[in-house]
Structure 1
Amino acid sequence: MAATDTRGNIGADIHFSEASVSAQDQSQTAFDVIVVGSGAGAMTAAVTAADQGLSVLVVEKSDKFGGTSAISGGGIWIPNNHYFKRIGGRDSHDQALTYLRAATAGRVDERRLLAYLEHAPKMIHYLEKKSRVRYAVAHKYPDYYQHLPGALPGGRSLDPELFDTSLLGDELNNLRSPSPSTLLMGRIAWTARDAHKAMARERGWRFKIMGLMLRYQLDLRWRRKTRMDRRAGLGSALVCALRRSLMDRKVPLWLKTDFQELVLEGGREGGKVSGIVVDQGGVRRTLTARKAVIFGAGGFEQNQQLREKYLPGPTRAGWSATPPGCNTGAALLAGQAAGAATDLLEWCWWAPTIAVPKEEKPRGVFAERAFPGAIVVNGLGRRFVNEAAPYLEFVDSMYKDNAATGGRSIPAWVIFDAHFRFNYAMGPLMPGQVMPDSRLRKEWLGSVYWKADSLAGLAEQIGVDAAGLAATVDSMNDYARTGIDADFARGGNAFDRYYGDVNVKPNPCLAPIAKGPFYAMRLDAGDIGTKGGLLTNADAQVIRADGSPIPGLYAIGNTSASVMGTAYPGAGGTLGPAMTFGYIAAHHIARGA
């Protein structure tokens, strides 16, 4: 989903007749439920709690709503969902449980797995009926671990439908701008299904792109207001739909309201959470939660001190693809101060990233690693992983190889030739047939990409062993001819091939690297959020080391230790659980259990 527009904000303020809900009365200080954070999980919890007759407040530390969800792909991994069944797909609770047991390998309490499998289909069915959220099944998107029992070649990942942002009124000005990498040409919304069709070069892909561009250009009334697409896609579509659903219910969302600490009745041992303390422009306020506080505030990936404390090294907040200044671990620290147990703090939702000058955050590299004709090497010029592997496993392999080679895999380098450059995207580089080198920003040469007439010259520029790189390229060229990657079996399963070029034979993920000039781009050990956090039970209650719940405190999303353990079972394995356990938490609170 590469793009060329690198601005932090893709549209100027847009003004509508409908008043902005950000100007709501903020004199009220007591609510049944206070939700900290405004990502997909947090807003799902708020929508569901409001529907249960509870008074709800959502607080967000930044001046934009949507959190990391807004810049994500917006997909949700929902086994046994009704969308797949509608088109004749076959899945079952037991098959999905078999898969999750294998993927999580005993790291997660099975009661949490069972809760997820029971409630995830109910959650998305509920939102379809009761809210503005709309999804479609990405029936070709495979589970990530095709070698595990219970995996499916498609049907469990759901893709958001496009959302008409004019329905937000002035509140659109408060939306966190989508990442340029999630937009066609840096400005046009599309679905993940559209993106897959284009990237895999399936039949009709050119007509699909032409149609999307025409739709955008011919929306003349909207074009007179802004360059921003009227429609939102992917994660932006999801958070817009949820925000509109909160507006329908008149649920207040307070921006620039920074969570500081929990209010505990009865002390740390056995105490009940009864509210929160926030900072609003330097003014501290205490807000009362009569029933519960739900943490949906993200992880700690933007806190360098916590990264160094918990994550493997080397580690940099600047490598993360999440919004700077957000997700600094305040909820984690508050939960620990209240006696909460934690788990998985050494793990992230890893994803390799590429830094682009003048962009607020690096770009994750997801689909491009599967395109034929690009390889990733360490400082010795050697491959160390199947480039098309799931992004979590890719960066995990970076760390393992970095330890084995004495620090030669962080950063790693993606290498490709002129043929690849002309036909495919890589990070911010659009295919050369659309965006030739002459149209790239001059400052990118030597910072975003490196270029040389020979592999040896390229190796010298980036500090990679030239002999090792030459030997690796020779081997890969042989593999491209046979279609078999003898080292890492790239292209050997349905997930690898999902983003491969269907027109390349015999293996859609393999092509020779032979035509100069040659290119390199730096890959850092990035992430799309931390994976570990406060330990919770099957009802999303935060628990102590002895398993007892902390009354009045719930955690979802990346504030909690992932129900997926150290695994990433499929596209949407982050947002699916966040939204599901938000739904579970709201019902549990309403029952007064």
Structure 2
Amino acid sequence: MTVSRDDSWDEEHDVVVVGSGAGALTGAYLAARDGHDTVVLEKAGRLGGTSAYSGAACWLPGSEVQQRAGSADSSQSARDYLTAVLGGSEPEKVEAFVATAPGLVAELEKDPALEFRLQPFPDYFDAAGRVPMGRSIVPLEIEQADLGELLALVRPPVERDREGLGHAEGAQLVGGRALIGRLLLAFDRTGSGEVRTGHAVTELVTDGERVVGVVAQTLDGPRRIGARRGVLLGSGGFERNQEMRSAHGVPGAADWAMAPAGTNTGEPIEAAVAVGAATELMDQGWWCPGIAHPDGSAAFTLGFRGGVVVDATGNRFANESLPYDRMGREMFAEPGHVPAWFVFDARSGGDLPAISLPPRSPAEHLESGTWVQAPTLEELAGATGLPADALTATVQRFNGFAEQGRDEDFGRGDDEFDRFFAIGTGPNPALVPLDQPPYVAARLVLSDLGTKGGLRTDTSARVLREDGTVIAGLYAAGNASASMAGAFYPGPGIPIGTAMVFSALAVRDMLDASL
């Protein structure tokens, strides 16, 4: 949509931020902190999106937080690590990210609402620059009472949100809820910021070559909102839009994605394309195995502490302890790998020997058939349709590996990340034998934490056209933009960390400020 300067707005602000995840709220806070009239437009009724569901790991290397904890992390080691993992791609963005991260953390921690600590969690690749136990930071927990009326705006944990419940009474906000809650509190205290829920941005308004506002669909009809300085799209990807997934060849399914229902359906990305924006990486996502749920959804699954994963042939096809994105990529590497089956025994007392969010009880799974249980492997094979000879041979071979302490097929337990969740007592704690019936098989599908393809941007998060020119007034960060990480997921907190940094760089550019 193109308008002239004398067309009226329903409301006008210096900065319009679309979305309310960690990146969007970081940008909104920085703009409002410096006295600029800022509005956050959120499609849903609550704030935080997938960020609120997360563990809130922020991959923001080289900061005072790592230094306070005595970490071996540094900006140079992070630069080396990203260069090694990404194969030297996107060097300008990598440099902008690494150079900005420490100052951003320092700026955020100047606000008493924003406190961080180091969270031990290994990086995902054995590459130059990796530091022991990782470099991710997380926000401190926060009491619900500290947020007051703002608490009602923060999306609750995924297990409660999917059931239509709010925050558990008296519980602290931790992880992603703490991050969103703290950013919202800091934003609100500036006195220069406002939040609008139920505002789905479907169009961008231009004045010649510049984006000057948005059109948001609300329950009261469309609302035209002007942006004097710029529009920042921090609205997430399109993982919940099956039509867009299919059009761009994104593996998995919308129902298996971890984004809150009704969110992340890609309208802001399409609105930017409509005004000439280029896109990249549109077939990419942040992948993870997902335990299939009775209602057709899936649960983000990581930290396998036992069991084996087999495909339709009854054979293992990967190291089950791989970082979740790498395991997800193994799953869609061959059509027969999805759905897979996670096979485990009674050592876990009937519970899943892994972390799965949101959880469902074993009884619910067994009743619905998403899990099956049997006294022997042969009977388990019959219940799942797997070849009995192959499944029993797979388990026997794996048990031999557990006894000798070496996975000769896939190297499970060789890497620091493999051992991070391991609880075994044998020579290799990541290899736990399966020899205590009854046996259980849990259906495993390909889930994701979001798509990572989106609008092409530069080092200031400015949205670009196909010819590389800048669309003035339009910025994008997080999963609304094409990720700096390309087809890789270097470490825990990269999605949130890059979203926060490039949102900050967007605000710095649009306000001509410095961090």
Q: TM-score, normalised by structure 2?
A: 0.93
Residue matched to 2:135: 156
8 A Cα contact 1:52 1:590, kept in partner:
no
CA distance in 2, matches of 1:128, 1:311: 41
CA distance in 1, matches of 2:116, 2:370: 35
8 A Cα contact 2:210 2:472, kept in partner:
yes
1:230 Cα shift? 3.0
Residue matched to 1:200: none
CA distance in 1, matches of 2:287, 2:63: 26
8 A Cα contact 1:384 1:401, kept in partner:
no
TM-aligned CA distance change 1:343 to 1:443, over 3 Å:
closer
* SS of residue in 1 equivalent to 2:498: helix
Counterpart of 2:11 (choices 24, 29, 38) is: 29
TM-aligned CA distance change 1:515 to 1:349, over 3 Å:
same
* SS of residue in 1 equivalent to 2:380: helix
TM-aligned CA distance change 1:355 to 1:335, over 3 Å:
same
CA distance in 1, matches of 2:32, 2:82: 31
Residue matched to 2:256: 319
Counterpart of 1:169 (choices 148, 164, 169) is: 148
The 4+ residue runs of structure 1 with deviation greater than 6 A are none
Residue matched to 2:187: 246
1:468 Cα shift? 1.1
* SS of residue in 2 equivalent to 1:172: helix
The AA in structure 2 aligned to 1:117 is V
8 A Cα contact 1:52 1:587, kept in partner:
no
CA distance in 1, matches of 2:380, 2:28: 52
1:481 Cα shift? 0.6
1:73-112 matched pairs, under 5 angstroms: 73-108=55-90, 110-112=91-93
CA distance in 1, matches of 2:160, 2:377: 28
CA distance in 2, matches of 1:130, 1:564: 29
TM-aligned CA distance change 1:424 to 1:333, over 3 Å:
closer
1:425 Cα shift? 4.0
1:400 aligns with 2:328: no
1:354 aligns with 2:291: yes
Residue matched to 2:421: 499
1:412-561 matched pairs, under 5 angstroms: 412-421=340-349, 425-426=353-354, 440-442=362-364, 444-501=366-423, 504-561=425-482
CA distance in 2, matches of 1:349, 1:543: 23
The AA in structure 2 aligned to 1:393 is R
Residue matched to 2:322: 389
Query: Which region of structure 1 is more displaced relative to structure 2, 29-38 or 241-250?
Result: 241-250
TM-aligned CA distance change 1:100 to 1:587, over 3 Å:
same
Counterpart of 1:578 (choices 486, 492, 499) is: 499
CA distance in 2, matches of 1:379, 1:84: 44
Q: TM-score, normalised by structure 1?
A: 0.81
1:142 aligns with 2:122: yes
Contiguous gaps of at least 5 residues in structure 1:
1-26, 188-224, 403-407
8 A Cα contact 2:301 2:357, kept in partner:
no
* SS of residue in 2 equivalent to 1:526: strand
Q: CA RMSD in A?
A: 2.4
Counterpart of 1:328 (choices 262, 265, 277) is: 265
Residue matched to 2:172: 231
Any idea what the Cα deviations from partners look like across 1:375-412, whole Å, max 9, x if unmatched? 1000101111110111111111111132xxxxx21101
TM-aligned CA distance change 1:446 to 1:457, over 3 Å:
farther
1:280 Cα shift? 1.2
8 A Cα contact 1:107 1:566, kept in partner:
no
The AA in structure 2 aligned to 1:246 is F
Any idea what the Cα deviations from partners look like across 1:506-552, whole Å, max 9, x if unmatched? 11111110111000101111101001110111111111122221100
1:148-227 matched pairs, under 5 angstroms: 148-180=127-159, 227=168
8 A Cα contact 2:125 2:490, kept in partner:
yes
TM-aligned CA distance change 1:351 to 1:442, over 3 Å:
closer
Contiguous gaps of at least 5 residues in structure 2:
1-8
The AA in structure 1 aligned to 2:435 is A
* SS of residue in 2 equivalent to 1:77: coil
Residue matched to 1:12: none
1:575 Cα shift? 0.4
* SS of residue in 2 equivalent to 1:322: coil
CA distance in 2, matches of 1:258, 1:430: 26
Identity %: 36
Residue matched to 1:126: 107
1:46 aligns with 2:25: no
CA distance in 1, matches of 2:24, 2:224: 20
The AA in structure 1 aligned to 2:247 is K
1:377 aligns with 2:310: yes
CA distance in 1, matches of 2:295, 2:247: 29
Any idea what the Cα deviations from partners look like across 1:40-64, whole Å, max 9, x if unmatched? 1100000001122211000001111
The AA in structure 1 aligned to 2:213 is G
* SS of residue in 1 equivalent to 2:176: helix
CA distance in 1, matches of 2:385, 2:48: 40
Residue matched to 1:304: 242
The AA in structure 2 aligned to 1:462 is T
Any idea what the Cα deviations from partners look like across 1:292-330, whole Å, max 9, x if unmatched? 0000000000000110011345x3101111111100011
The AA in structure 1 aligned to 2:483 is S
Any idea what the Cα deviations from partners look like across 1:73-98, whole Å, max 9, x if unmatched? 11111222222212322233222212
Query: Which region of structure 1 is more displaced relative to structure 2, 443-452 or 391-400?
Result: 443-452
1:275 Cα shift? 0.2
CA distance in 2, matches of 1:143, 1:400: 23
CA distance in 2, matches of 1:124, 1:143: 20
TM-aligned CA distance change 1:563 to 1:131, over 3 Å:
farther
8 A Cα contact 1:354 1:427, kept in partner:
no
CA distance in 2, matches of 1:92, 1:167: 33
8 A Cα contact 1:378 1:411, kept in partner:
yes
Residue matched to 1:221: none
8 A Cα contact 1:44 1:583, kept in partner:
yes
1:228 Cα shift? 3.0
1:423 Cα shift? 7.3
8 A Cα contact 2:453 2:483, kept in partner:
yes
* SS of residue in 1 equivalent to 2:229: strand
